[in-house]
Structure 1
Amino acid sequence: MSTPYSKVFNSFLGKITDYTYESYTDEELGGDLTSLLNSAIVEFDYPKVDIRDKSDDEQCFNTDLGIDETEILSFIMVERWIERQINNIELIKHRFSNKDFQYTSQANHLDALYQNQERIQKKVATLKTKYSYRRTGSNYYMPDYSGLSKGD
């Protein structure tokens, strides 16, 4: 029982538009997506399955990932991808004076990326919160509040 990375990669790629990936070889694309995935794994707090039990060489998790884990990992990958875009534009910004940068579309693009990053961060936080309350097994649709304080 294992889950291929491609399941998470396809979910991630369906959430973004990046034409630079078209010029990548399969090996380059796999390496870049694996790097984003590994960053996402570190950011995924308290998964209910062992997402760290994986093989980058075989491009698979050694456990079955459900739709929840796949979706959370792919959204965290989007968050890391946006962060990369922002860092790239910040490098461009440093090459120009503030006045020159204001007149380019880069400034507007950077603002849009910041807004999108905030939106994705909120989405990831919401997904993680809902995931943490979800039970496993046949009652997965019912919230699990057993870990909350009873007011003692």
Structure 2
Amino acid sequence: MEQLWYPLSKTLAEKAAWDFAKEKGLDVVVVNPGTVMGPVISPRLNASMIMLVRLLEGCDETYENFFMGSVHFKDVALAHIMVYENKTATGRHLCVEAISHYGDFVAKVAELYPQYNVPKIPRDTQPGLLRAKDGSKKLMDLGLEFIPMEKIIKDAVESLKSKGFIS
């Protein structure tokens, strides 16, 4: 079984924050971003951008039962500002443009960048799970309008090219 240490560590850290807040009587508001992409702003790539680079290089490792929510890093920053400034923001806030199957994401990358060797990934390997455009309803209700997946991918790939991470 593949060990998903990164998401596990994030889950455990959030649990510790909730436990601490309860013990101390604090109000905690959490923004949980999905697969964060967009222009490269740091000297090192995050895990999400590395996944995109590997995909563009033709990596065919499959994520058969993987649903994901991509989000532009600008939307993640804005979400944090919105929950900080809005007194009605409480609890957990999922921060994704939409929830889709990994195969949907791969198909969009292949459509936008046919010059790369993007592998074919099945798009419906987990019957019964539904894609959602309103997974981040709480943030949308606060007024956040998410950058669409196509623009997230374009901003990410063009930045990767301009910074020399891909050719």
Q: Which structure shows the bigger proportion of residues in helix conformation?
A: 1
**TM-score of the superposed pair, with normalisation by structure 1:** 0.29
**TM-score of the superposed pair, with normalisation by structure 2:** 0.27
Q: Which structure shows the bigger proportion of residues in strand conformation?
A: 2
